[in-house]
């Protein structure tokens, strides 16, 4: 089942920061998007997207938010597509790897793993202890 927009945004924000640094806040996201887009984006609007009270995200804002968060696909926040599952799995994998201190995780074989195999890998990495 595809993730709802608020979950996708939260996944992006959690993925985007380095280990030991806090995730961006709604005001920080709004300020960065305002600068990138050249128009005002309010933290209230970002909060509304994240809490689900609005799902009307302009395409250019969605693409810039993906870029801001280093998402590999600028269309991740557009309406659900089948590819979103694959992107979500990669975001979860790399977030877990970062938080567990894995420095050498080779993921060079696109298409070699099924989604089920990727979920098993995500579960295995998730079972490792968080780095201190």
Local confidence band at 71 (pLDDT 50, 70, 90 cut-offs):
very high
pLDDT digits (tens, 9 = 90+) for 27-49: 999 999 999 999 999 999 999 99
| Most confident by average pLDDT, 70-74, 77-81, 120-124 | 120-124
Local confidence band at 109 (pLDDT 50, 70, 90 cut-offs):
low
What residue has token string 């993730």? 3
- In whole angstroms, give the CA distance from residue 76 to residue 104: 26
Instruction: Report all structural domains of the chain as residue ranges with CATH numbers, in order of start.
Output: 5-126 (1.10.260.40)
21, 4 in Cβ contact below 8 A?
Answer: no
Per-residue pLDDT at 103 exceeds 90: no
Per-residue pLDDT at 1 exceeds 70: no
């Amino acid at each position: 089942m595809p993730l709802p927009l608020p979950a996708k945004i939260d996944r992006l924000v959690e993925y985007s920061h380095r280990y030991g640094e806090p995730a961006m806040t709604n005001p920080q996201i709004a300020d960065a998007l305002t600068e990138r887009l050249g128009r005002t984006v309010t933290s209230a609007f970002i909060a509304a997207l994240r809490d689900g009270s609005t799902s009307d995200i302009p395409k250019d804002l969605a693409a810039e938010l993906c870029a801001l968060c280093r998402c590999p696909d600028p269309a991740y926040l557009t309406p659900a597509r089948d590819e979103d599952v694959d992107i979500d799995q990669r975001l979860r994998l790399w977030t877990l790897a970062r938080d567990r201190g894995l420095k050498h995780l080779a993921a060079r074989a696109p298409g070699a793993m099924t989604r089920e195999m990727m979920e098993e890998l995500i579960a295995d990495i998730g079972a490792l202890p968080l780095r201190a």
